[in-house]
Structure 1
Amino acid sequence: MKHLIYPCIWFNGNAKEAADYYCLAFPDAEVKVCTPVVVTFHIHGKQFMGLNGGPDYKPNPSISFFTICETAEEIDQAWKILTEGGNIMMPLNSYPWSNKYGWVQDKYGVSWQLSLGMPGEQQQRDIFPSLMFTGEQNGKAEKAISFYTSLFENSSTEIMARYEAGEHDTAGNIKYGQFKINDYRISAMDSSGPHHFGFDQGVSLVVNCDTQAEIDFFWLNLTEGGKEAMCGWCQDAFGVWWQIVPSILGSLMTDPEKAPKVMNAFMKMKKFDIEELKKAAE
C-alpha cells in the first residue's frame, strides 16, 4: 500500500500568511486548502501542511527543505524573499556539490536549502525534507535511514556519502544521505558541531493510512524506543516526530456538521481509531 507522506509545519496562527509568502518565493507554489486550523499548500508539486498550533513549538533547522531549482534566476528570486527578516546559515555561493547553493532560515523559522543540483541528480525541480541529526542523535543518520527504508514499502537508499578523515566532522558520519520511503524522497546528515536545536514538533512527517491495520503497524514500529503523544502524534527512537492519521480524517473534518464531533473524539485519542471516528461522525 502506497501512503501519502508530507511534512507538517507548526505555526503560531500565521500558517496562511506563511503559505502566501512561499507562493511569492516559488514560481509553482499554490495554496490548496485553507481552514482556521490547517492550511495545505504545494511547492514543486509536493504537499505541505501548515498547522496553526499556537506558541508551543516552532520549526528549526533540524528539518529543512532541500529545494532544487531549474535556473539561477529561480534561486535568486526565492533567496531574495526568504532572506527578508530571516537568518542566512550558508551564503548563496558556489560549493563542491552545487554551482549555486544557499541555506536560509526564513522569518517564520522554516529552513530552506536552495540548490541548482546535487550529486547524482539532474537539474529539475524537486523539494524534500532534510533531516539533521545533532546532539545525542548525531551519528545515527545511517541507522535511521536503514530503519525507515525497512519500515515503508517502495523504499530505497539512493546516496550514502560519509565524512572522511580530515574533513570538518567525525569520520564515518553521514555527510549526505538520500533515500525514499513510499517513493517520497528525504535526505539526512549527521552534524557533530554545537547546535541549539534538535528534532521537535515544529516540523513533523505525516503518514496517511487507509486502514486501522496500517495505523497500528506504523504506530507500533515508530513508537518503539520513542514515545506516544495525543491526536496521532508520536516520536521515533531517533527523535523525529510523525503524525499517523487515517486518510478519512480530511473528509470528516471538512464536513461542518461532523467536524466538531470528530474533533471532540480524536482529541481524546493517542493512536487514531478509525471506527471510533466514524461513530462520532454519525
Structure 2
Amino acid sequence: MADPSPPGPNRPELPSLPIVSLEPWEQRSRLERYGGFHYLAIGGLVLLVGMIGWFVWGVWSLREVWRDVYVLHDPSRPAADRILAADRLSRNPDVTQRQLYDISLRRDLPDPARYLVAEALTAEATKDDPRAFALAVARSEGWPDWLRLLHLRPLAYASGEGGAIEQEPLRELARHPDPVIRLWATYTLAQSSRSHRAERETLRALAQDGPHPDLAALLLRALEAEDDRGRNAALDEATSWIREHHPGASSVWSGWEQAGSGNRPSSPEEAAPGTSSDAEGA
C-alpha cells in the first residue's frame, strides 16, 4: 500500500520504528518480580479484614450491654425500666468490675439501680489497687451507709482469698457509727490476719450479745469456715441480710419487691424508687 503522505521537500522521511524486545527481567510475572512482598501484601490485607471483622463482632456481641447502659442512664425512662437494666448489667459477665464500680457511684441514678450494681461487686474489684479501694470506702464523703456497706463487701471477700488489705481504713470503718458497717469491718480485719485475735473475740461476743447477733453469727461462721465454699456461702447470706435488715437498704427497697430475675414496683403507683434517709447528697 502506497504511503499517503510521501516525503517531500517540507516533509522529512521518518525513521523506521525499532523493534522493542523485553529484557528477561521484564518478562517475569508479578510474583517473580516482587517475590515475598507479594505474599506480604496479601497477608496484610487479610490481617486488616480480620481486625475489622473482630471489631465489628466485639461491638455486636456487646449490644445488650450498650442497650442496658443507655436505658439505665436515660432519665426519661420509667424508673422500673432503669432498675431492670441495672439488674441485667449486674448479672452480665461482659460488664467489668470497674464499670460496675463507676456506675454505682453515679448520683443521678435511682437508688435501687445503684444498689443492684454495687451488690454485684466482687473481690476482683479490689485487685487493681486494694489500698485505694479501701481508702475510698473508708473516707469518701457523702456516701449513704448502705452504699459504703456494699463497697465494704468486696474487701471482706478479698480478705478470705488472701488479698492484701490495707489495715488503717478497716480500723476506721470498725469505728463507724453504723453497727452493721462495724461488724463487716471487724470481720474483714479478723479474716485478713490470724494475728487479729481481738477482732475475732469481738465478733464472737457480738454473736452472743450485740445489736445484730444474727449477722454477727453469719460473719463468725464465715470466719471459721474450713474452705472457700463455706466462707463465701456465709458471706452471701450476710449480703442478703443487708437488704432485709439494714435500715438504709430497707429504705432503698421500700415499695419494691423481687420479681423473677429483677425488681419491679410492687404496684403501678409506686413507679418512683425509694430513697434512703441517709442518701442525701449521695
If the length of structure 1 is used for normalisation, what is the TM-score?
A: 0.26
If the length of structure 2 is used for normalisation, what is the TM-score?
A: 0.26
Bigger radius of gyration, 1 or 2?
2
Bigger proportion of residues as strand: 1
